[in-house]
Amino acid sequence: MSNPASAPRFPFLTDPMIAVLLIATALALLLPATGEARTVATTISNAGIFLLFLVNGMRIRRAEIARGLANWRYFGPLMLFVFGGMSLAGMGFASLAGQALPPLVALGFVYLGCLPSTVQSATSYTSLAGGNVGLAVVGAALINIAGVFISAPLFALLGGGGAGDIGSEAIIRIGLILVLPFVIGQVVQDRVIDRVSQHRARIAWLDRAVIGIAVYVAFSGAVEQGLATLFAAADWAVMIALVLAMLGLALAAAWGASGALGLPRGDRIAFLFAGSQKSVAIGAPLAAILFPPASAGFVIAPLLLYHLAQLVLAAPLALRMAKSAEAQALG
């Protein structure tokens, strides 16, 4: 368990992903990739996504996947919450957003709801709060693997056609760029996993670089389509309010659902962060494959704000939970 007294007061400020997302967005606003440059950037993005999922297949141990599948009493409800409950919430917030925001941005709330949870931050905040870290690691990894197969079809089922034709061509692209490299990584895992484990820091930066490129390509298309002129200050205020409301609902619902399941406190904490958080590591690359550049930036706008908000709110929440547990232990 992490010591709350020694933890940084604002852990999210030390997360390099925040800087990567801000730089990618700013670069797209100032120097968007258009014309031939967009074609080159898209090719680089797709190659990076392929490499990223190849490495993910190499580093996620098959034994962890098996343990997660065996613990169905925990992971079954968690999967249902992440992909079922959150998708329904996304549809509800999309309906609200559609009354004030562009249709593609409103659709972004549906997309947000269909995504899996994070791995790194959900695990980190579970540890900071004194939760079951082992369960958080396996759970987040299992949900991310499932997300590769579930998120796109689920999004299409719930109305994803509003962002373009999510049909056979998109499914083939997902298979070639996400699923195939992951499967290859799993096949060769036994021969390379020790070497991969020795380069965790470099792999973390590979994650960030690939996400940054995907965000840059997506927002370049949005800028070309007039992102700055379509969004007034009031529109940003509406979107931020809706994102915060959705995150607050997710946190409250995840904590309530874990309590209704009768889980011990450590497991409830793992459920809370794995259930409420959403992964930009899956969301940005998947959007780059699913949507044309003119649409992708608008669709992922709620996801980027949600990702930032979950880091900002999760840190003080985790510290408060840790201090509460420590006070109960002493008292």
Looking at residue 294, what is its pLDDT?
75
* Domain-embedded: residue 49: yes
User: Is pLDDT of 13 > 80?
Assistant: no
Tell me 5's DSSP state: T
* Domain-embedded: residue 9: no
Q: What is the CATH number of the domain that holds 50?
A: 1.20.1530.20
* Domain-embedded: residue 261: yes
Q: What's the domain count of the chain?
A: 1
What contacts 128, CB < 8 A, 6 or more positions away?
2, 4, 7, 11, 315, 318, 319, 322
Question: What does the pLDDT look like over 128-147, one tens digit per residue?
Answer: 888 887 788 777 778 888 88
Residue recorded with tokens 């490495």:
55
Cα–Cα dist 294/221, whole Å: 4
Tally: H helices and E strands in the chain: 17, 0
Which sign, positive or negative, has the C-alpha torsion 264, 269, 270, 272? Answer: positive
* Domain-embedded: residue 2: no
Cα–Cα dist 57/265, whole Å: 31
Mean model confidence pLDDT for the chain: 82
**Most confident residue range from 169-173, 204-208, 241-245, 327-331:** 241-245
SS (H, E, C) 71-125: CHHHHHHHHHHHHHHHHHHHHHHHHHHCCCCCHHHHHHHHHHHHCCCCCHHHHHH
Give 184's Cβ-side CA count (13 Å radius): 13
11 three-class SS: helix
Residue recorded with tokens 């917030």:
93
Q: Which domain holds residue 164?
A: 33-322
| Region of poorest pLDDT, from 96-105, 179-188, 224-233 | 224-233
* Domain-embedded: residue 267: yes
- Which burial class, exposed, middle or buried, applies to 181 when counting CB atoms under 10 A from its CB (0-12, 13-18, 19+)? buried
Looking at residue 84, what is its pLDDT?
95
C-beta separation of 288 from 218 below 8 A: yes
* Domain-embedded: residue 102: yes
* Domain-embedded: residue 328: no
The conformational region for residue 262 under phi > 0 = left, psi -120 to 50 = alpha, else beta, is left
Q: What percent of the chain has pLDDT over 70?
A: 87
**Mean of pLDDT values over 236-250:** 95
**Mean of pLDDT values over 61-73:** 75
C-beta separation of 255 from 280 below 8 A: no
* Domain-embedded: residue 189: yes
Q: And the tokens for 77?
A: 């409800």
